[in-house]
A and B are shown apart, each in its own frame.
Chain A
Amino acid sequence: MRRFEYHEPKSLDEASELLGTLGEGAFILAGGTDLFVEIRERLREVKHLINIKRISDLSAIEYSETSGLRFGALVTAGELEAEPSVIRYYPNLRRALAELASIQVRNRATVIGNICRASPSADTIPPLIADGASIETFRPEGGRTIPLAEFFAGPGRTVLEQGEIAIAIIIPPPQQGSGRSYIKHGRRKAMELATVGVAVSLDAKDNICTGARIALGAVGPVVLRAHKAEEILIGSSFDQNTVERVAEQAMQECTPISNVRSSAEYRRSMVGVLTRRAIELAREEPA
């Protein structure tokens, strides 16, 4: 591995100060599963590594019926995958976690690291955006809570400021009659980046859609919300005709590119197919 200086701050204040004073070339180490690859493949020039694993209170997972799920920056994908409240209430997130890389990687990779890397094809982002999650940050002058849908500024870029550290994710509790799903499309199941990922979260009352959030992964510079498609769905009874129109609209709203994994046209067609399937799946198991 290429050389870098290594730091082990004991508090968020200390970590944030290090980030500020060391400037460019200083990066936070949480899981390391992406960062070490980027260092080896020379995709990122790392001069200082700031390991936040010795900071206490970043490893908690808490669920309550009133405030939902909150998990800290050091929670690994494997821990969250095995968390009873995730299995029970957030099957969409669970699916995304179980399809992330491999068991070995999931035992190290943190979910917040996966999010902060801001890849448009990150598996965990679409279900979290569809569920209305927000991210909590630390700043010396006071942290903030940012809706995850507003957290990304472009591929690999977030709205985090210099010295600001993402410390937790909060997902609201599921409403009665809500349903959620995530479908990842790739050529194989494991060790694969999504060609397209679609997450859908629905609220319904008396079989009428009262709320819908559709998040599309790997078909734009950031994970997108298909707002117009959602509007078509809200107020409908999930009839086939409406669902077809929603899927059609989601295809219009995405902005895919062609790359080694697939062409833009293919991605756009798959958005249609998967949006339809994800709505059906979310309707199958309402909470």
Chain B
Amino acid sequence: MNQDMRRDFASRGELIAYLREQFPEAAQGDEQVPAQRGGRRAAEAALQAVRPHAYGKTRNFLDGAVTRLSAYLRHGVLSLAEVRDHALRQVRQREEAAKLVNELAWRDYWQRVYAEIGDGIWRDREPIKTGHTRYADALPQDIQQGETGLACIDAFSRELRETGYLHNHARMWLAAYIVHWRRVRWQAGARWFLQHLLDGDPASNNLSWQWVASTFSHKPYFFNRENLEKYTAGIYCRGCPLAGHCDFEGRYEEIEARLFPNRPAEPASPPRRR
């Protein structure tokens, strides 16, 4: 009756085949399973590779020295304190690890908010500040399939589904595109992310979506092509059929006026980054 599930597998392939059979619904969307491994051993190896100083200088770039520890932190395989202590041991001066410690704190912060509001993470924390009131309930198919025609967005969609990981900046761009350019409720995007992210965490995820949407921040987060091009070394724009006339062209003020025509004007400055 109460049968234990198997623990003896000769190989990763055998484990995956077993789980495919045990969880057929979950297996439907995933033809392949990404290479990133679960478990403490893999987590420790990833921890050894952390370079706090380089992280601080390059983390906003898609090819920057980000840690990719999120799935381990999410599931408590590593603790925030452990990563912080390790990072501090790697540097001569505390300041060299300051950026990483600050980012780790974002996770601690979202977890504290979650402890306070529980399922409230699924509801707007504050009124939305975009000047719009109507948002679509469902995530459009072209985004889910990676068929919008925008090389960057389609690549992020594919990477999310195939690897279960996206760089923080890519998450921000993709979320902003969904909420502000396509005017879809943030909850629809949040749900999609949680299906796929190996680090999928209701608090970090939903509250970050709310930060992008402006229901948990002072103003909506958006970007322009120049910003995306800079932090991606142009790899998407270069081969994009829409290059030069895509939805993201223009100065911040122009895009802001296009996206949020009903929003009370504010002194122009690029949105603050996390």
Partners in one complex: no
A binding-site residues for B, Cβ under 8 Å: none
B binding-site residues for A, Cβ under 8 Å: none
